[in-house]
Amino acid sequence: MAVEVAAVPKPRRRRLRHALVTPGLLGLPIGWLICFFLVPVGIVAAYSLGPSLAASPHPVTLKTWHDFLHSTTYLRLFWSSLQLSLIVSVLVVAVAYPLAYYLALSGTKRKYVLLLLLIAPFLTSYLLRVLAWKIILGNQGPIDSFLSSVGLHPLSLIYTRFAVILVLGYIWLPFVALPIFVSLESLDRGLLEAASDLYASRLQAFGRVTLPLSLPGVFAAFLFVFIPTLGEFVTPSLVGGTSSSSGYMYGNAIQDLFVHGFPDWETGSVLAIFLLGVVAVLMVVFSRFLQPRQVAAD
Amino acid sequence: MDVEGEPFDRRLSRREMLRLAGFAAGVTVVAGPAAACGAAAKKVSSSTKETGQLHVLDWAGYENDGGQPMFAAYVHAHPQNKPQFTYMTNEADALAKIRAGLKPDLFRPYIGWVEYFAKSGLVQPWDPSLISNFKHLNQFMVKAGQYQGKQYGIPDDWGFDAILYRSDKVTPKSQSWDLLWDDRYAGKIAWFDDIEMLEIAGLYLGFPNTWEQTDDQLNQSKQLLISKKHLAKVIWSSETTLDQAFAAGDIWIAYAWPADWVYMKAKKLDVTYMRPKELPIAWVGYFMLLKDTPRFNLAHAYVDAWSSTKSAKWLEDNYAYGHANTVARPASADTLKALLLNNPKGIVEPNAHLDRDIPRRAQYEKAWEEVKAA
């Protein structure tokens, strides 16, 4: 009887504990998301529909949206930025994949040392790294100085689209390599052995086993670089030029509209919400590729 | 009043008060100065009651208190209330920061924005009687800082917007703003990230009032800039960006300020600061006082320090900017000539276009953003 009495409250306490664990664990992050993501996005969305939140009640208007969708200027800039981000993402993934493959599958004992070297640039400030590139690519930097010293015409790489692609690629390379590395590292080596037992060549084993199973990591890596670079404005403002053809990006236009010129928060909000919408759609589209089981089943 | 200004005022106050006690009450000649000294004494006692650091929203470059006389007199007199700086990249940036909740005691917009801020309700007028150096300030500039008869802006620095170019690399076809879009120097040109580029385009296109362009004129200015933008390598918003790019040889031609000319000469570059035939644009910086500032008197003391002859001369000698203090004169004859300091009408037609309020600023900004995004 005593045992029974003692045993009864335990499941209740457990249930209570279980009942509190979920909100306890999720409460803070959900609260954080609401306060610092959903509410700000809501405010920005509200600005895109009216002149000012601070002003007295005003009619909701779609004029700014109408102007945006009928003005080719910002849509062209968006398209150009999309292309630039795609180029950066594809190039970085192409460079990072062999690197991650070597680190994960070569069997080298120093793979974690090499991995540390790969992420070493993170120990330096983002701005400092970009500013270092600004000097390297500048007219008096090592590249142009060398070319001038051997009698060749300087390339004058700074303030160009190429400079933006190069620096963004450099900045995001470790972000891309890491998910691919993790994806390859967790690969079941038995599958590769099975492929070999079935007389698959190394190339066939890579094409039919390694690559498909690492695709979730590749897509995750691609998204890691594609989404942030689409809204990038720091790097283009430091090493980019004056137009979309020389590295001025959609993110720069948003920043300019909010803080640079005479505040035009309405247009800036429209641009920001449009970008958010496109990114959300892309996330949904790409999310199916992030399901390892599905990829494996395919 | 210079570095030793306030202690001097304090001594004078006591003497005058003693004299007043000794003389008959009807000596009205003495009464005036005595009242002034009383005000000075009140100023000192009031400003010492105010606490905390003076919060100044200003342009980068005006914050260095490493012994330069810009506002050294203030720091000397109020060591417990040293200025604390926040930077503004332009007036719109200042407006955005203030609207976002920043509470500076004072800030420094330029002449084209004085009326805008005076109307905005964000600022309050100064009390010139608390600024002993006020009497030395250029009366034309003082008047331009007034709105509805009140002194909303205290003039300080002034200068020109013109073209800086490398004399060893560039041969202008003519003395014109069109050097900023000269095809021969594609990729070696820097523009300024401001609607002033539309004003310059308007001057080049010969519009009668480039600050009040019609929709059609604004569109013409915009299209001109869009069609020429590929020639510009940099559109600078930070002077540091311009100076680095110009000094590194990335840029040979730039929209620039006199300080950039001085900086490049110090770098031993062969440079010319050109006055375009369409005339440069002149500007005057004004200190404006935020409404409800808790450091009203300290802000006045700070502006008084900036208005001193010593500060003015330092600014002219080191930045090649003019100063509203008419007593100051730069040591260099080159600076004197460049600033037209011998000409009392140096900043107005027919020598320059004085920048002014733009009634349709929002439309200009929209057009400029489209130029950049194009």
Average pLDDT over residues B176-201: 95
- Same-domain check for residues B289 and B215: no
- List chain A residues with CB under 8 Å of B370: 71, 73
Q: Which amino acid is at A209?
A: V
A with B: how many residue pairs have Cβ under 8 Å apart?
84
Residue at B345 is within a domain: no
Radius of gyration for the alpha carbons in chain A, expressed in angstroms and rounded: 25
Work out the pLDDT band at B344, boundaries 50, 70, 90: low
Residue at B58 is within a domain: yes
Residue B41 has, within 13 A of its CA and on its CB side, a CA count of 14
User: β-strands B153-166, B322-323: how paired?
Assistant: antiparallel
- List chain B residues with CB under 8 Å of A275: none
- Same-domain check for residues B237 and B292: no
Whether B230 sits inside 8 A of A261 (CB atoms) is: no
Residue at B343 is within a domain: no
| Tokens of residue A240, six digits | 């980019």
Average pLDDT over residues B85-114: 90
For residue B7, whether the previous peptide bond is cis, meaning omega lies within 30 degrees of 0, is no
Whether A156 sits inside 8 A of B250 (CB atoms) is: yes
Contact of B368 with chain A, judged by CB distance below 8 Å, is answered with: yes
Radius of gyration for the alpha carbons in chain B, expressed in angstroms and rounded: 22
Contact between B50 and B81 (Cβ < 8 Å): yes
Average pLDDT over residues A45-55: 73
- Same-domain check for residues B355 and B328: no
| A89 Cα to chain B: minimum distance (Å) | 23
- Same-domain check for residues B108 and B143: yes
Contact between B107 and B90 (Cβ < 8 Å): no
Q: Which of A252, A253, A262 has the CB atom closest to B365's CB atom? A: A262
Q: Is A151 helix (H, G, I), strand (E, B) or coil?
A: coil
- Same-domain check for residues B88 and B163: no
Work out the pLDDT band at A9, boundaries 50, 70, 90: low
Distance CA B110, CA B144 (A): 11
Q: Residue A74 CB: number of other CB atoms within 10 A? A: 23
- Same-domain check for residues B226 and B322: no
**Among A17-21, A135-139, B89-93, B320-324, the least confident range:** A17-21
- Same-domain check for residues B127 and B261: no
Work out the pLDDT band at A12, boundaries 50, 70, 90: confident
- Same-domain check for residues B111 and B225: no
**Residue labelled with tokens 């009887």:** A1
Write the Ramachandran bin of B253: left for phi over 0, alpha for psi from -120 to 50, otherwise beta: beta
| Tokens of residue B105, six digits | 């005691």
Cβ burial, residue B105 (10 Å; 0-12/13-18/19+): buried
Contact between B303 and B287 (Cβ < 8 Å): yes
Q: Is the pLDDT assigned to residue A6 strictly greater than 80?
A: no
Distance CA B91, CA B357 (A): 12
Contact of B187 with chain A, judged by CB distance below 8 Å, is answered with: yes
Q: Is the dihedral of CA A168, A169, A172, A176 positive or negative?
A: positive
Q: B114 lies in which domain range?
A: 48-152+285-338
Q: Residue A294 CB: number of other CB atoms within 10 A? A: 11
**Among B21-30, B55-64, B112-121, the least confident range:** B21-30
Distances (CA, A) of B139 to A278, B228, B327, B337: 56, 40, 12, 21
Share of chain A above pLDDT 70, in %: 90
| Tokens of residue A123, six digits | 């120990």
- Same-domain check for residues B26 and B171: no
Q: Residue B31 CB: number of other CB atoms within 10 A? A: 14
Which of B 218-277 lie inside 8 A of A, CB atoms? 229-230, 232-235, 237, 245, 248-250
Q: Is B97 helix (H, G, I), strand (E, B) or coil?
A: helix
Average pLDDT over residues A170-186: 90
Residue B146 phi/psi, 5-degree rounding, is -100, 150
Whether A140 sits inside 8 A of B365 (CB atoms) is: no
Q: Is the pLDDT assigned to residue B355 strictly greater than 50?
A: yes
Distances (CA, A) of A295 to A89, A189, A217, A285, A291: 21, 17, 11, 14, 6
| CA nearest to B252 within chain A | A139
Sequence-ordered alpha helix ranges (H) in chain B: 5-22, 28-49, 72-77, 91-99, 111-120, 139-144, 196-204, 215-228, 239-247, 258-266, 296-306, 309-319, 333-338, 361-373
Residue at B96 is within a domain: yes
User: β-strands B54-58, B83-87: how paired?
Assistant: parallel
User: β-strands B150-151, B146-147: how paired?
Assistant: antiparallel
Q: Which of A243, A256, A257 has the CB atom closest to B229's CB atom? A: A243
Distance CA B18, CA B26 (A): 15
The pLDDT of residue A241 is: 86
CATH of segment(s) A72-297: 1.10.3720.10
What's the mean pLDDT when you consider all of chain B? Answer: 85
Contact between A101 and A184 (Cβ < 8 Å): yes
pLDDT digits (tens, 9 = 90+) for A186-240: 888 899 889 988 998 989 999 999 999 999 889 989 998 999 999 999 999 999 9
The pLDDT of residue B38 is: 46
Work out the pLDDT band at B39, boundaries 50, 70, 90: very low
Distance CA B219, CA B224 (A): 8
Contact of B288 with chain A, judged by CB distance below 8 Å, is answered with: no
Whether B250 sits inside 8 A of A245 (CB atoms) is: no
Inter-helix orientation angle B239-247/B258-266, to 10°: 40
Work out the pLDDT band at B47, boundaries 50, 70, 90: low
Distance CA B299, CA A279 (A): 48
**Residue labelled with tokens 């409250």:** A9
Q: Is the pLDDT assigned to residue B239 strictly greater than 50?
A: yes
> Residues near B345 by Cβ (< 8 Å), separated by ≥ 6?
B351
Distance CA A214, CA A212 (A): 5
Distances (CA, A) of A191 to A81, A207, B117: 40, 13, 71
The pLDDT of residue B183 is: 96
Distances (CA, A) of A147 to A93, A103, A142, A165, B246: 30, 35, 9, 21, 20
E strands of B136-217, at which residues? 146-147, 150-151, 153-166, 189-192
Q: Is the pLDDT assigned to residue A58 strictly greater than 70?
A: no
The pLDDT of residue A297 is: 42
Residue B21 has, within 13 A of its CA and on its CB side, a CA count of 5
Work out the pLDDT band at A57, boundaries 50, 70, 90: low
ipTM: 0.72
Q: Which of B96, B233, B250 has the CB atom closest to A263's CB atom? A: B96
Letter string b/e over residues A215-247, b meaning 16 or more CB atoms within 10 A of that residue's CB = bbbbbbbbbbbbbbbbbbbbbbbbbbbbbbebb
pLDDT digits (tens, 9 = 90+) for B211-235: 999 999 999 999 999 999 999 999 9
Q: Is B161 helix (H, G, I), strand (E, B) or coil?
A: strand
Count of positions (residues) in chain B = 374
Q: Which of B248, B249, B369 has the CB atom closest to A261's CB atom? A: B369
Q: How far apart are the first and last CA of chain A?
A: 58
The pLDDT of residue B29 is: 38
The pLDDT of residue A124 is: 86
- List chain B residues with CB under 8 Å of A77: 373-374
| Tokens of residue B127, six digits | 């009390």
What is the DSSP track for B302-331?
A: HHHHHTSHHHHHHHHHHH--EESBTT---S
The pLDDT of residue B208 is: 93
| Tokens of residue B22, six digits | 């000794």
**Residue labelled with tokens 């094409």:** A207
pLDDT digits (tens, 9 = 90+) for B194-204: 899 999 999 99
Task: Residue B55: give its domain's CATH number.
Answer: 3.40.190.10
Looking at the structure of chain B, the number of domains it has is 3
- Same-domain check for residues B63 and B144: yes
Distance CA B363, CA B143 (A): 28
Contact between B141 and B344 (Cβ < 8 Å): no
Work out the pLDDT band at B113, boundaries 50, 70, 90: very high
Q: Is B255 helix (H, G, I), strand (E, B) or coil?
A: strand
Q: Which of A77, A140, A159 has the CB atom closest to B373's CB atom? A: A77
Residue at B37 is within a domain: yes
Strand partners, B323: B157
Q: Is the pLDDT assigned to residue B181 strictly greater than 70?
A: yes
**Among A122-131, A152-161, A261-270, B118-127, the least confident range:** A261-270
Among B47, B65, B84, the domain boundary falls at: B47
Q: Is B286 helix (H, G, I), strand (E, B) or coil?
A: strand
What is the DSSP track for A66-102?
A: HHHHH-HHHHHHHHHHHHHHHHHHHHHHHHHHHHHHH
Count of positions (residues) in chain A = 298
- Same-domain check for residues B54 and B86: yes
More confident residue, B30 or B291: B291
The pLDDT of residue A65 is: 93
More confident residue, A212 or A18: A212
Contact of B193 with chain A, judged by CB distance below 8 Å, is answered with: yes
Contact of A264 with chain B, judged by CB distance below 8 Å, is answered with: yes
Q: Which of B90, B194, B233 has the CB atom closest to A159's CB atom? A: B233
Distance CA B148, CA B125 (A): 10
Q: Is the pLDDT assigned to residue A156 strictly greater than 80?
A: yes
Q: Is the pLDDT assigned to residue B40 strictly greater than 60?
A: no
Q: Is the pLDDT assigned to residue B362 strictly greater than 60?
A: yes
pLDDT digits (tens, 9 = 90+) for B3-34: 333 333 333 343 443 343 343 334 333 344 44
pLDDT digits (tens, 9 = 90+) for A25-43: 888 899 999 999 999 999 9
Whether A261 sits inside 8 A of B195 (CB atoms) is: yes
pLDDT digits (tens, 9 = 90+) for A236-282: 999 998 888 888 999 999 988 887 767 788 899 999 999 999 999 98
Our measurement of the distance from residue A285's CA atom to the centroid of its chain's CA atoms, rounded to an integer in Å, reads 15
Our measurement of the distance from residue A3's CA atom to the centroid of its chain's CA atoms, rounded to an integer in Å, reads 57
- Same-domain check for residues B41 and B71: no
